[in-house]
């Protein structure tokens, strides 16, 4: 290692003595290297090759290296002052270039901090505005609350109820339209769909429409919320019951197969 460091900075202008000293050092190192190399080649590796043993190899080698490091003494540089001066100079030049990097890094950091500061100030300002806006809003709500009289609240609620009623009616209209158009009354449907009609289902006179089934289910929920189940009788066309169950509109009673209720849509 030393050999390389010194070798790296041995330009031509060194005096004979200095150069001689360096060369001597290099020679010594190289002789040492050759000696070690021969030892390595001669000694049989006792490492096994199986990958399972890799970690064992590594452990042995690392322990050996640790021992080596612990017993290593630092080595002195060459004694020649010329060499030392040169080494010192190289060190200083290296330091200079490193410090230049530190300088430009610090400048960049400073600029970044300035930017951040601007951002943070903007952020703070925004937050202050938000706070005051929220305060104003609270204030406004308080004012409104004071202005509200019992009557106006009542009127408001009534209006809302009216609206909801109208809306409900339109929904009902819509549902009715759809049911009527696409899910016909079993009797009518049977005549309308003669081709697909199953021969075994005889049209029964007292079958009710899907709309009526739904109506029963809904009414039952509203009338007796504690017992929302409706008993299936022979007026319910089985395919419609099946459909309601399959699409999760109705749910069967857990114990009684002949009872269904509307799914709790809430």
Least distance between other proteins and beta carbon 208 (Å) = 11
Residues 139-158 that bind other proteins (CB under 8 A): 156
What count of other Cβ atoms lies within 10 Å of the Cβ of residue 229?
A: 19
- Which of 54, 188, 224, 231 binds other proteins (CB under 8 A)? It is 54
Residue 138 is encoded by which pair of tokens?
Answer: 């609270």
Does residue 225 sit in helix, strand or coil? coil
**Cα–Cα distance for residue pair 243/250, rounded to 1 Å:** 9
**C-alpha span between 16 and 13 (Å, rounded):** 9
Using the minimum distance from each CB to other proteins, give the nearer residue, 85 or 133.
133
Asked if 28 interacts with other proteins (CB under 8 A), we say no
Single residue of 107, 111, 121, 126 touching other proteins by CB under 8 A = 126
Confirm or reject binding of residue 101 to other proteins (CB under 8 A).
yes
| Cβ-defined contacts of 219-228 (< 8 Å, 24+) | 220/261, 220/262, 221/261, 221/262, 228/261, 228/262
Binding to other proteins (CB under 8 A): which residues in 227-266? Answer: 247-248, 263-266
Q: What does the per-residue mask of binding to other proteins show for 164-193, with x meaning CB under 8 A?
A: -xxxx-xxxxxxxxxxxxx-----------
Contacts (CB under 8 A) with other proteins, residues 56-85: 57-58, 61-62, 65, 73-74, 76, 79
Judged by CB, which is closer to other proteins: 76, or 199? 76
248: left (phi over 0), alpha (psi -120 to 50) or beta: left
Taking the least distance from each CB to other proteins, the nearer of 17 and 135 is 135
Binding mask 201-230 for other proteins (x = CB under 8 A): --------x-xx--x--xx--xx-------
Backbone φ and ψ for 251, nearest 5 degrees, come out as -130, 140
Applying CB under 8 A, among 102, 150, 200, 205 the residue interacting with other proteins is 102
H and E: helices and strands count for the chain: 8, 3
């Amino acid at each position: 290692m030393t050999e390389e460091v010194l070798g790296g900075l041995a330009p031509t202008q060194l005096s004979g003595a200095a150069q001689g000293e360096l060369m001597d050092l290099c020679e010594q190192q190289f002789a040492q290297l050759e000696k070690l190399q021969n030892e390595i080649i001669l000694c049989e590796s006792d490492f096994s090759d199986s990958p399972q043993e890799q970690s064992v190899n590594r452990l042995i080698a690392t322990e050996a290296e640790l021992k080596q490091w612990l017993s290593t003494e630092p080595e002195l540089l060459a004694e020649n002052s010329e060499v030392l001066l040169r080494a010192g100079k190289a060190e200083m030049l290296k330091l200079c270039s490193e410090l230049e990097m530190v300088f430009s890094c610090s400048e960049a950091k400073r600029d970044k901090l300035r930017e951040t500061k601007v951002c943070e100030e903007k952020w703070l300002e925004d937050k202050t505005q938000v706070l005051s806006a929220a305060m104003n809003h609270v204030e406004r709500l308080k004012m409104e609350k004071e202005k509200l009289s019992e009557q106006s609240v009542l009127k408001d609620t009534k209006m809302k109820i009216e609206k909801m009623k109208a809306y409900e009616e339109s929904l009902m209209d819509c549902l009715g339209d759809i049911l009527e158009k696409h899910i016909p009354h079993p009797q009518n449907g049977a005549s309308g769909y003669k081709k697909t009609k199953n021969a075994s289902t005889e049209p029964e006179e007292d079958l009710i429409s899907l709309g009526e089934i739904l109506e029963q289910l809904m009414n039952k929920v509203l009338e007796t919320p504690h017992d929302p189940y409706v008993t299936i009788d022979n007026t319910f066309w089985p395919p419609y019951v099946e459909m309601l169950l399959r699409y999760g509109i109705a749910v069967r009673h857990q114990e009684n197969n002949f009872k269904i209720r509307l799914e709790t849509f809430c």
